[in-house]
Amino acid sequence: MFTNGFFMSINSFLDYLTSEKKYSKHTITAYKNDLQSFKVFCESEYGNQPIEEVNYAQIRTWIVSLVEDKLSNRTINRKVSSLKSFYKYLQRTNQLKVNPLAKHQALKVSKKIQIPFSEKELVSVLEFNFEEENFENVRDKLIVELLYATGMRRNELVNLKFADVDLKSGVVKVKGKRNKERYIPLIRSVQESLNKYIRYREQLATVDVYLLLTKKGKKLYDTFVYRVINSYFSRVSSKVKKSPHIIRHSFATHLLDGGADLNSVKELLGHSSLASTQVYTHTSLGKLKKVYNQAHPRSKKTNLL
């Protein structure tokens, strides 16, 4: 019946995402919550219905309920995408013949414009001088430096292990999505900050393998890093969004503005395809136009752009 069969199928699907697809815990939790939401709705509306009998009209009713709950189109699309992936899994494992979401069209969403921090804002934060140099201030500044110097994701930063940093070679090993590893060079200023942080870290009574720790010697967590970034950049920026991801966005944008090629930025960011990296080229378009106007012979004469 719907309840037991659906529940068992969800569990096997989540196991598949964990063991085969190597998705992160955060992603697995998102899938689980989305599918549980659909399961609860179906049980409430349709009772103990076999999963293979759930049709698109019923799924549309669920989508309408999400709209009525005032969820954003982006959130609704994510939930439906989770369900669609689940149905694909059921087809692949011969538990379902037809995917009821096969022809579903996603709801329209407005493109999010990510405004990166300016180089001036980043310099202001990195040159901020605390009244007191202590473990927490040194660590917090290192968090900003590592994010901006490497472009790594917040989750990647939190999961950095002490052994992942090779100061002798000047590189850091980052484990990205699906456990894909990449090596990122460390500029000299970051190496110096790491050395300073490590001296303070050695004074903690901890055997934790992770690089960045709380003052109690425990591994950092995502919201901790977010609070640090928000606190730092609130001093120098009036931008609405001040998050680790905006620093990653700034890292990519500033590299492209400085002449880095797209493939190199792709590798540094840990993207699997150029399509994901190309979003950052839009931010650099203004500078590209300026360079074009200054360099192209015809532009100088006609000022077409």
pLDDT tens figures, 6-51: 657 888 999 999 988 888 888 899 999 999 999 888 888 888 777 7
φ/ψ of 238, rounded to 5, equals -100, 5
**Do the beta carbons of residue 162 and residue 138 sit within 8 Å?**
no
What is the structure's pLDDT at 3? 46
Here the CATH number for the domain that contains residue 86 is 1.10.150.130
Q: Is residue 109 part of a domain?
A: no
Residues in the chain, pLDDT under 50: 1-3, 303-305
Q: Is residue 264 part of a domain?
A: yes
Q: Which residues are part of the catalytic machinery?
A: 153, 177, 245, 248, 271, 280
H helices of the chain, where?
2-19, 25-46, 56-68, 73-92, 119-126, 135-150, 154-158, 188-201, 222-234, 244-257, 262-269, 274-277, 279-283, 285-295, 297-302
What is the structure's pLDDT at 1? 40
Q: Is residue 302 part of a domain?
A: no
Domain that holds residue 17: 2-92
* Domain C-terminal end among 92, 107, 127: 92
Q: Which of 289, 225, 277, 274 is nearest to 252 (CA)?
A: 277
CA dihedral (258, 264, 267, 273) in degrees, to 10, reads 100
CA distances from 88 to 52, 135, 194, 205, 298 (A): 13, 49, 46, 49, 53
What is the structure's pLDDT at 296? 53
Q: Is residue 73 part of a domain?
A: yes
| Residues linked to residue 185 through DSSP beta bridges, in sequence order | 171
Judgement on whether residues 221 and 176 belong to the same structural domain of the protein:
yes
Here the CATH number for the domain that contains residue 201 is 1.10.443.10
| Residues linked to residue 219 through DSSP beta bridges, in sequence order | 213
Distance of CA 123 to the CA centre of its chain: 23
Q: Is residue 76 part of a domain?
A: yes
* Domain C-terminal end among 75, 92, 109: 92
